[in-house]
Amino acid sequence: MGKALERVSSCEILRSHRRLAFREGPYAYAITREGDNSLYEVTDGRETFTVRIEWAFGQGGAGQTYVFEKNGNWYESRVSFFNDSQGLGLTLGAATAKPASLEEAAGRLMSPADARDGFDCHSTGTVHAHKLDVEDAIPGVECENCPGGGARSGDSCGEHERGQACGSLDPEYGGDVGLLRALPPDLGAD
């Protein structure tokens, strides 16, 4: 989890894949690299939705999902990059949803709590007084986010090596610090 979140400007997957494309039903998806930016485009052939991707969630060991902001709201992209196919596919959970509009086809509107919790789990310094503030975000989980010790200086926080995920912030892994050893290498270390 040390690299569980990246700014798109430094995202290696998007830097090395200058154009990614995918089609699902009437919708065509593309992510195109332009300098340090990646543009996300969804079209139904009549209208086109285009937005700049802001953040990449996941290290890419299995996949990587993209988050963008529109009108002050955060959205999770409907498509994600999957390492095994080296291309785009539907984001987990998106396959069951049938979009009724172009905006829904672009992605899932995240509730303020979902956005706050997602950034808080995958980065450091994004939540202040229970409010999301990504301006000074430190991508990835640093020891200050770790309930195992909180020491930012030095090589470890007492539970695991600095920069490694303990899994304690992710309820999917049961909140058990000992799960670092059980996680696959691409999820549990830099």
DSSP for 86-107, please give it. TEEEEPTTTTT---SSHHHHHE
Sorted by where each begins, the domain ranges of the chain are: 5-110, 117-188
Question: Over 80: is that where the pLDDT of 81 sits?
Answer: yes
Question: Over 80: is that where the pLDDT of 50 sits?
Answer: yes
How far apart, in whole angstroms, are the C-alpha atoms of residue 10 and residue 99? 31
Dihedral, 57, 73, 134, 60 alpha carbons, nearest 10: 10
Q: Which range, 8-12, 29-33, 139-143, 176-180, has the best average confidence (pLDDT)? A: 29-33
Cβ(166)–Cβ(160) below 8 Å: yes
Please give the structure tokens belonging to residue 32. Answer: 């195109």
Q: Which range, 3-12, 49-58, 122-131, has the best average confidence (pLDDT)? A: 49-58
Segment 3-43, tens digit of pLDDT: 577 888 989 999 999 999 999 999 999 999 999 999 999 99
Cβ(124)–Cβ(137) below 8 Å: yes
pLDDT at 39: 98
How far apart, in whole angstroms, are the C-alpha atoms of residue 88 and residue 51? 17
Query: How does residue 180 score in pLDDT terms, banded at 50, 70 and 90?
Result: very low
